[in-house]
């Protein structure tokens, strides 16, 4: 593909921005999309447009959804007395894939990193406290990542929840320190949940 070819070059640059895709993979994907009848290219562009236009945070837990409430919040079989606090929607996906948690989630939107300008006002601590104060929540599990910043975020959340009436627990240290939840396998997540301790 020639450097002067604007549309193709554009596609290559956008693809190479995606996580895990370097210039070589970008070229392979572009050739695949541009080959044959291009039905994949059209379907992909429509799928991307649809998620970009319709996906937003769940109004209750801030997980990603194309409805008002995400599938977890709108499922009456979930245990609304336990809230698992995570950093990102990817963490929700990791827990759901593991299948070991039957409560609800609360997505903070990241973790505290004051040096990078990520202060508490940018994370969903206040909506978390509001949810707990509405009543019916017996336990809040702090499932932020096992990193310094994740620990700091859990500590801040536990202070926010102090006196709210809900028990506050933290995932057990079964997870490899410094890693992210989405890399943990189902058994590791189940063990970390089972072994959670009072914060």
Binding residues for Zn ion, rule: CB under 5 A, are 58, 60-61, 63, 70, 73
- A 10 A CB-CB count for 165 gives 10
Whole-angstrom distance, CA of residue 104 vs CA of residue 83: 5
Residue 57 or 152 with smaller CB distance to Zn ion: 57
Shortest CB 28 distance to Zn ion, Å? 36
At closest approach, how far in Å is the CB of 143 from Zn ion?
15
From the CB of 54, what's the least distance to Zn ion, in Å?
15
Quick one: 57 or 110, whose CB is closer to Zn ion? 57
Q: How far is CA 123 from CA 62, 75, 114, 171, in A?
A: 11, 25, 12, 20
Of 21, 158, 3, residue with least CA distance to 85:
158
Distance of CA 98 to the CA centre of its chain: 14
Nearer to Zn ion, 11 or 166 (CB): 166
User: Which residues, other chains included, contact 132 with Cβ-Cβ below 8 Å and sequence gap of 6+?
Assistant: 83, 140, 161, 164, 165, 166
Q: Which is nearer to Zn ion, 33 or 108 (CB)?
A: 108
Task: Kindly state the smallest distance separating residue 57's Cβ from Zn ion, in Å.
Answer: 8
> Shortest approach of Zn ion to residue 60 CB, angstroms?
5
How many other β-carbons are positioned within 10 Å of the β-carbon of residue 67?
A: 13
Sheet holding 103-107, edge to edge: 103-107, 79-86, 139-142, 167-170, 197-198
Of 33 and 83, nearer to Zn ion (C-beta) is 83
């Amino acid at each position: 593909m020639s450097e002067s070819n604007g549309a193709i070059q554009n596609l290559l640059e956008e693809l190479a921005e995606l996580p895990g895709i370097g210039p070589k993979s970008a070229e392979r994907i572009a050739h695949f999309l541009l080959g044959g009848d291009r039905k994949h290219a059209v379907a992909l562009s429509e799928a991307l447009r649809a998620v970009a236009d319709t996906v937003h945070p769940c109004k209750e837990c801030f997980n990603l959804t194309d409805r008002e409430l995400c599938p977890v919040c709108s499922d009456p079989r979930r245990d609304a007395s336990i809230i698992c606090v995570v950093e990102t929607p990817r963490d929700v996906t990791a827990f759901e894939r593991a299948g070991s948690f039957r409560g609800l989630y609360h997505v903070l939107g990241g973790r505290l990193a004051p040096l990078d300008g990520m202060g508490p006002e940018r994370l969903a601590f206040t909506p978390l406290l509001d949810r707990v104060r509405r009543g019916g929540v017996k336990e809040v599990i702090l499932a932020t990542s096992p990193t310094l910043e994740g620990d700091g975020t859990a500590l801040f959340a536990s202070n926010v929840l102090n006196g709210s009436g809900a028990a506050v627990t933290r995932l057990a240290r079964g997870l490899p320190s410094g890693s992210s939840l989405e890399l943990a396998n189902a058994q590791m997540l189940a063990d970390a949940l089972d072994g959670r301790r009072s914060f």
